[in-house]
Amino acid sequence: MPKKLIAAVAGCMMLAAGSMKEAQAFESGVSPYPAGAVGTNIANLPPIPGLFALEQFNYTFANGLYGNDGKKLPIPFRTSVYSATTRLLVSYPFHLVGANVYTQLVIPVVSLHTSVFGQSNTQNGLSNITLTPVLLQWHLSPNLAIASGIDFAFETGSYSPVKPSVAVGYTSVQPVLAVRYNVPNGIDVGIENRFLLNSKNGATNYRSGDGYVAEFNAGWNFGPWKLGVVGAYLNQFGDDKANGVNVGNRMKTFGIGPSVVYDARTWNVNLNYQHGFYAVNTAKSSSIWLNIAIPLWPGFGRKG
């Protein structure tokens, strides 16, 4: 996934520079979730049963690595990451505890390009597949919605313990709670809270510390158009452990930028740019996202 891949390269570069201590913050500086990926889709789920898809196209770039004090390190490198992610969502024709019920599958394919100390490298492949077995959404009013579920980012994809990879080598369990207040021809604000509960990497005997991600959007609806901002804050609150020994170091990032949405009801397009303003123990990266939501099989299972 975009930001975590940049960070992975940063970790490898730090090893080459002889500063391994600052490189760590998640394993090799790699977050198991790309903060900012949700965009304007916070608690935004189809109200009818069916099969739906969200296609996400991303370009992320960085040219600065930042240490434990948040200051830029004297290491020359450039990184660019391209990704295409398919999110498949099943909306069921029944309710559970008063909520609409969904299942989600996320399949990301990534191309990572790096230039470190004049040496270029490219890695392509499948990143970690994520499954949300049960995702619930409650509509507390016509304008207020709450969504909650648990994402399982599995130990899948093109991972290597000896080089920058497009996947992490462990499973991450991620409880999610999102709240959104959206008024037609009015204000739209939302926040999604996500915890990253990471298991140990069996190939390296390294356990990345747990973390928290807050993703947010704020805007105003003008008919089918929405103008606003989106962004994300990542805070690793748990220390990393190597072979059971606490090695400290924690990653932090913050990015925000403009967003435009066109909602045609049956399909939806969002284009947003998130500029990296702050980074600790990782790269300060910026991202461009194009998100296209389309129905694949709307209305299946509906009675009548």
Q: What is the pLDDT of residue 251?
A: 94
Q: What is the pLDDT of residue 233?
A: 98
Mean pLDDT to the nearest integer, 45-53: 96
Question: Which structure tokens are listed for 227?
Answer: 């103008």
Q: Which phi and psi angles does 8 have, rounded to 5°?
A: -60, -40
| Distances, alpha carbon 15 to alpha carbons 9, 10, 146, in Å | 10, 9, 43
- The proportion of the chain whose per-residue pLDDT surpasses 90, expressed as a percent, equals 71
Distance between CA atoms of 165 and 125, rounded to whole angstroms?
A: 9
pLDDT at residue 11 greater than cutoff 60: no
pLDDT at residue 259 greater than cutoff 70: yes
Q: What is the pLDDT of residue 18?
A: 35
List pLDDT tens digits, range 59-79.
Answer: 999 988 888 888 988 888 788
Question: Which domains does the chain show, CATH number per domain?
Answer: 2-297 (2.40.160.40)
The region of weakest confidence among 111-115, 154-158, 188-192, 203-207 is 111-115
Better-predicted residue by pLDDT, 159 or 24: 159
List pLDDT tens digits, range 235-251.
Answer: 999 999 999 999 878 99
Mean pLDDT to the nearest integer, 164-188: 95
Distance between CA atoms of 190 and 267, rounded to whole angstroms?
A: 20
pLDDT at residue 3 greater than cutoff 70: no
List pLDDT tens digits, range 219-232.
Answer: 999 999 999 999 99
- The proportion of the chain whose per-residue pLDDT surpasses 70, expressed as a percent, equals 91
pLDDT at residue 97 greater than cutoff 90: yes
Better-predicted residue by pLDDT, 188 or 281: 188
Q: Which residues pair with 77 in a beta bridge?
A: 116
List pLDDT tens digits, range 100-148.
Answer: 999 999 999 999 888 878 788 888 999 999 999 999 999 999 999 999 9
pLDDT at residue 154 greater than cutoff 60: yes
Q: What is the pLDDT of residue 303?
A: 58
Stated pTM of the model = 0.90
Mean pLDDT to the nearest integer, 53-61: 97
